[in-house]
Amino acid sequence: MASGLAISALFGAAPAQAQASADTLAAIRARGALICGVTGTTAGFSLPDSQGVMRGLDADSCRAVAAAIFGDANKIRFVNTTSQNRFTALQSGELDVLIRNTTWTLSREASLGFEFASVNFYDGQGFMVKKSLGVDSALKLDGATVCVQPGTTTELNLADYFRANAMKFTPVVIESIEEIRTAFNSGRCDAYTNDASSLAAFRATQTSPADYLLLPEIISKEPLGAVVRKGDWKFFDIVRWAHFAQVTAEELGMTSQNLQSFTDSNNPDVQRFMGRSGDLGKMLGLQPDWAVKIVQQVGNFGEMWERNITPLGVQRGINNLWTKGGLQYAPPMR
């Protein structure tokens, strides 16, 4: 889902200089499981399958962190959160990490006491209408009713966009993502605005996806990623480099299926990745093969994308590797 307002008063925010009150990594190990906050309701990102197993890009990003820490991606507990309670849940320690379509903004780091460790999806806010409305551009929505969730940057971006284009609109503000989608389907609003990825996920789950149109305008930058409490830099590093390990693996051509074939490689980058040199695991407080465990059990970044996002009909685009014109770029693992 799109990101939330960064106003401390609304969320009971901790001061920007606040430090994490505990050793998160030690607490996770003592508990025996990573607690990861997700939406639990968004196809392609975090949604239980028919067996009750949480599936999606965000869910797999959580699993990558668990695999790095425990060597076991299944040592994880998913907690469903809303746009309104996600930040207080992280601040209070109910969650170890939040990975639920949450946008990286200055105010969230400066006033809410958080740090964004990685970006697993470069997104932007869009609009969806039913084709029957006869509208093919957001600039033709003057006077429209628009479904939007409260407490989000989506709500702010919506107001800014209409004001900048001298248009009027009537917001239909609903907290629950499921209720807002029901309202849109029932005709309570002419348009539905959210991150384009979320709109695509919604369309993909409908009986007749062709009846819905994603308008071409993208009105914001929405880098979505993993959020941790400010101050616990050891845990921050693990969350950040779990993502970079998946990107690096894709850069090196490593997948969950061919990883074994790299065991005897003389490539120094591969040797460091496999934990055979460099002591990178020790630097992070992890086992030498922490990155190998991630790829074995979760896959590289491209595998995650193909498994979770491609079925939604979303192209990788700017989420591709930098070598293919995208923004996914991992610093050297050395």
**Tens-place pLDDT, residues 263-318:** 999 999 999 999 999 999 999 999 999 999 999 999 999 999 999 999 988 889 89
Inter-axis angle of helices 301-308 and 233-252, nearest 10 = 80
**Tens-place pLDDT, residues 35-57:** 999 999 988 999 999 999 999 99
| 175-180 contacts at long range (C-beta below 8 A, 24 or more positions apart) | 175/82, 175/83, 175/84, 175/149, 175/150, 175/151, 176/82, 177/1, 177/39, 177/41, 177/42, 177/149, 178/41, 180/147, 180/148, 180/149
- How far, in whole angstroms, is CA 32 from its chain's centroid? 24
pLDDT, residue 294, reads 98
- Amino acid sitting at position 92: S
Residue 10 pLDDT level (bands cut at 50, 70, 90): very low
pLDDT, residue 235, reads 98
H-helix segments, the chain: 8-11, 24-31, 57-70, 86-92, 106-111, 153-164, 177-186, 196-204, 233-252, 268-274, 280-284, 290-297, 301-308
Rg of the chain's alpha carbons, rounded to an integer?
A: 20
Pairing of β 76-80 and β 34-38: parallel
Over 60: is that where the pLDDT of 4 sits?
no
pLDDT, residue 55, reads 98
Tokens of 120: 């697993």
Q: How far apart, in whole angstroms, are the C-alpha atoms of residue 254 and residue 274?
A: 11
Q: How far apart, in whole angstroms, are the C-alpha atoms of residue 231 and residue 226?
A: 15
User: Is CATH 3.40.190.10 the right assignment for the domain spanning 24-123+224-324?
Assistant: yes
Which residues make up the CATH 3.40.190.10 domain(s) of the chain? 24-123+224-324, 124-221
Q: Hey, what CATH class is 124-221 in?
A: alpha beta
Tokens of 113: 């006491």
Predicted TM-score of the model (pTM): 0.84
